[in-house]
Amino acid sequence: CHLIHYLRLGHHLIVLNYLIYTFDMLKSASSEDINITDAIFDGVKVRVFEPPAKGDERLKRSVVFIHGGGWALASARTSLYNNLCGIMAESLNAVIVSVEYRLVPEVCFPEQFHDALRATKHFLQPDVLAEYSVDPSRIAISGDSAGGNLAAAVCQQLSKEENLTVRPKLQALIYPVLQAFDFNTPSYQQNMNMAILPRSVMINYWIDYFSGNYDLVHSLLINNHTALDVGQALSFRRHLNWTSLLPSSFKKNYKPVIQTTGKAEIIQEIPALLDVRAVPLLAENETLQLQPKTYILTCENDVLRDDGVMYAKRLENAGVEVTLDHFDDCFHGCLIFTVWPTDFSAGIQTRKSYIKWLDENL
């Protein structure tokens, strides 16, 4: 894929998505008992999963789900997410709205955020909820990886909007990517060469999301963009001090990588690196205090582990009730790997725990 991109025969992400969809045709669909329909919510494609009505039941709970894939890959329509959302709908007896936001390279930040926000706000309208027989007081926003990023950003934005009549009861974030400030947290250092999501690949996803220059990869990798002499970053440093936000079991013997002098022009070229709509972990405490009850799932073998753990701690410090569900033997992306031939025990284990929390709290 990268050779094709280098030769300018096409964007490597487009080629990779084509391969994903081709392989996906071999996989099975979700339960036949769930009614699956495609709709448009304020110009954004969504896929809605509805379980059959049960007896005299009037209203169902609901989850707005935002899929992962580095803001560039996969789809609400691929079998892995189709399967997950179908099982959620069946297990929770809930209406699941899976958001089909536009991808890189078709669009870049902030369009993915805008798509997720528009679709969610449309669904939260009382008349739309009534159409799907959804209880307005029992709605969660959730997502995995880059979808967890979008779910957290959408939740933060919704908490600031005064005119909303319906607000989410919960947010559930699955190994979310939440910051591009420090690429040398202990989990980034520990898992820099881990399969599925090595550090260099995550940095490339960020650059693609921001339509940046790949020449910046090395500078980002050593935190030149947030050096002590980069004035734009100084006010955010207190929000991402992992030496105080992480427990000792996660910090281990790793040391912070803080450059004295760096390259302020990186932030000037890509200001979104410090935009809370892209990096929710940098939000002010006043915003965090407004967040709903939260579930965050993290995996030990994941560069993003500390993003989730730090967000959990910051939310907790802001007075939000948080469940941090950490798995020592699991890896990034495992939750969707439950369908043959990638039906891993890690996927079954994490999915079961995630759905159990939703069932008990939604």
- Those residues whose C-beta lies under 8 Å from the C-beta of residue 320, and which sit 6 or more positions away, are 288, 289, 291, 292, 293, 294
Tokens describing residue 56: 């005299």
- Those residues whose C-beta lies under 8 Å from the C-beta of residue 250, and which sit 6 or more positions away, are 186, 187, 305, 306, 309
- Phi and psi at residue 20, to the nearest 5°: -60, -45
* Displacement of CA 285 from its chain's centroid (Å): 20
Whole-angstrom Cα distance, residue 277 to residue 273?
Answer: 10
What does the DSSP 8-state code read for residue 216?
G
* Helix (H/G/I), strand (E/B), else coil: 341: coil
Q: Which of 317, 252, 288, 323 is nearest to 156 (CA)?
A: 288
Report, as residue numbers or ranges, the catalytic residues: 145, 302, 332
199: left (phi over 0), alpha (psi -120 to 50) or beta: alpha
* Helix (H/G/I), strand (E/B), else coil: 32: coil
Whole-angstrom Cα distance, residue 186 to residue 301?
Answer: 11
Whole-angstrom Cα distance, residue 154 to residue 81?
Answer: 20
